[in-house]
Structure 1
Amino acid sequence: MSSIQAPAAQPGGASAAVSGAARVARAFASGKAFVPFVTCGDPDLETTEELVVAMAEAGADLVELGIPFSDPTAEGPVIQAANLRALAKGVTTDQVFELVERVRKRTDVPLAFMTYANVPFSFGAERFARRMAETGVDALILPDIPFEEKEEFAAPCRAEGVAFVSLVAPTSHERVEMIAREAEGFVYCVSSLGVTGARENIATDVAALVERVRRARSDIPCAVGFGIATPEQAAAMAAVSDGAIVGSAIVRLVAEHGRACVEPVAAYVRAMKAAVSAVEN
């Protein structure tokens, strides 16, 4: 990947004169990135706030925030259960935006929402994009939106300086180059067929998938997610890409420890960040 010019870090969040896309670029500009995911409101919104701050302090380069949704079709049982727990406690999209506002007073770590199309559609795509920009969310990932139908959400994001992140998968085939050429922020490379969840082995030829993206677009970072759980797996994926994304393993720690999850998750993030950082560019 060619060198990415990172903007200078600025405090604050939504008030900082840095676009979301630029902050996402910064996450990948200093070496291999580690990107953790948490479900907002599991076990509660206060704990989510502490988790985001702690993960940033532990070395997370970008944090994915899952907005709870009743039918998260790309998720395995661990994250599905977290969504249902958060929804059962009444967590709303407005409350998640309020959470981001609080987080932005404490850290400038790049943030991405990962949710499903019905969430911004129900909120209003333009209003949703505007709120992301106002509160300091830098990117949006919607795994249930085909690339060909993305403009309903990507255009409002683009107008507000928010990156709309596209996914490529082993089944993308001839569409990989097309997706890469129009990618924003970074390309989310799906390492495994099926839903999210830790796997003992990742059999997909991720290196070949990433190489196809890079041939089409040399200036966009590629981060690999789905199935990564151990430092060894994270290092292996970072060796062939620009970073590793981990969700289910972290959400499982949250489920196991409840409100006492912050330190166990922070320790896990430190170990995973160390593993990807040890990989030579």
Structure 2
Amino acid sequence: MDRIAHAFSRAQAANRAAFVAYLCAGDPDFDTSLAACRALLRNGVDVLELGVPFSDPLADGLTNQLAAQRALEGGMSAERVFALVEALRAEFPETPIVFYTYYNLVFSNGVDAYVARAKAAGLDGLLTLDLPPEEAGELREACDRHGMKTVFIVAPTTPESRLQTIAEAATGFIYYVSREGVTGERSSVAANIPEALAAIKRHTALPVVVGFGISKREHVHEVAAHADGVVVGSALVNVIRGHLEERSRIGDAMGAKAVDLVAGTARAD
């Protein structure tokens, strides 16, 4: 079953964009992270994007860097991340889960072995941030073997001459990074999103999601008018950051935040 395709199809049938939520796996500890992820999936999130904590997260702003640091200090390891996926998959059999990760974490464990373990845990896709499609042959072959979807990034600086290469490498969806630089909340949505999405769509029939800097319901609504999916990360991670002294409240706070943001995905009739 292609859970990713089904999630986007369900959203389209409901005349809305899919809502993609990012959290760092294990932030600030395993049990609290599990509760936060459950709260998201119980409150309208269509795709869960789990950041695999890494000591050198080059694409991440301060919010997500600190989340990764908290997770690592809380004892998260590769196997614990897989255990988190397994726990979520048992409770939410239809919701796609995608890793947001860095190639060293895949390569150092053996590419084929890593993909096989991730698939066995219930993972649906891999977004490997620092791996360009031109160098992703081994990973793509492993993903093909094990039925794992691939996600690749298009940036505002990506020339149209590379879009076909990126589109051919992706099998799950395309992630359009709407701003240059790192992750983080912003006060407004980036300009030229409709034009960028139109250029990508000339090269693929896969869903295209938009992320980086989207932090409010109004932002979600603005992007949802054009994109197949909307990604929110730092605004959700900051819910955890704001409740570190009262971790038992994180689940309820995360659920309320998800309800507010997901409401922005509806499109006008």
- Normalising by the smaller structure, the TM-score range is over 0.9
**How far apart in 2 are the matches of 1:145 and 1:206?**
24
Alignment correspondent of 1:23: 3
Aligned partner of residue 56 in structure 2, secondary structure:
coil
Q: Which amino acid aligns with 2:208?
A: C
Question: Following superposition of structure 1 onto structure 2, how do residues 29-178 of structure 1 map, counting pairs within 5 Å?
Answer: 29-31=9-11, 32-108=17-93, 109-173=95-159, 174-178=161-165
Alignment correspondent of 1:207: 194
Question: Following superposition of structure 1 onto structure 2, how do residues 227-266 of structure 1 map, counting pairs within 5 Å?
Answer: 227-258=213-244, 259=247, 260-266=249-255
**How far apart in 2 are the matches of 1:178 and 1:125?**
21
Alignment correspondent of 2:14: none
Q: Which amino acid aligns with 2:114?
A: F
CA deviation map 1:95-140 (0-9, x unaligned): 1111111111111211001111111111111111101111110000
Decide whether the 8 Å contact of 2:46 with 2:96 is kept in 1. yes
Decide whether the 8 Å contact of 2:221 with 2:267 is kept in 1. yes
Q: Which amino acid aligns with 1:60?
A: V
Deviation (angstroms), 1:151: 1.8
Alignment correspondent of 1:12: none
Q: Which amino acid aligns with 2:45?
A: A
**How far apart in 1 are the matches of 2:102 and 2:168?**
23
Q: Which amino acid aligns with 1:163?
A: K
1:273 equivalent in alignment to 2:262: yes
Alignment correspondent of 1:184: 171
Gaps (5+ residues) in structure 1? 1-17
TM-score (norm 2): 0.93
Aligned partner of residue 123 in structure 1, secondary structure:
coil
Q: Which amino acid aligns with 2:209?
A: A
| Comparing 131-140 and 201-210, the one that deviates more | 201-210
Gaps (5+ residues) in structure 2? 12-16
Count of matched residue pairs: 259
CA deviation map 1:230-280 (0-9, x unaligned): 01111111111111001111111111113221111111111111110x214
Deviation (angstroms), 1:203: 3.0
Question: Following superposition of structure 1 onto structure 2, how do residues 213-224 of structure 1 map, counting pairs within 5 Å?
Answer: 213-217=200-204, 219-224=205-210
Alignment correspondent of 1:3: none
Q: CA RMSD in A?
A: 1.3
Q: Which amino acid aligns with 2:200?
A: V
Decide whether the 8 Å contact of 1:185 with 1:220 is kept in 2. yes
**How far apart in 1 are the matches of 2:141 and 2:58?**
24
Decide whether the 8 Å contact of 1:158 with 1:164 is kept in 2. no
Aligned partner of residue 261 in structure 1, secondary structure:
helix
Deviation (angstroms), 1:84: 0.9
Residues 28 and 160 of structure 1, relative CA distance in 2, 3 Å threshold = same
TM-score (norm 1): 0.89
**How far apart in 2 are the matches of 1:244 and 1:77?**
21
Decide whether the 8 Å contact of 2:140 with 2:169 is kept in 1. no
Deviation (angstroms), 1:41: 1.1
Aligned partner of residue 29 in structure 1, secondary structure:
helix
CA deviation map 1:68-87 (0-9, x unaligned): 00000000000001111111
CA deviation map 1:156-207 (0-9, x unaligned): 1121111110110111112123312432111101110000001112333111
Alignment correspondent of 1:5: none
Aligned partner of residue 68 in structure 2, secondary structure:
helix
Decide whether the 8 Å contact of 2:133 with 2:169 is kept in 1. no
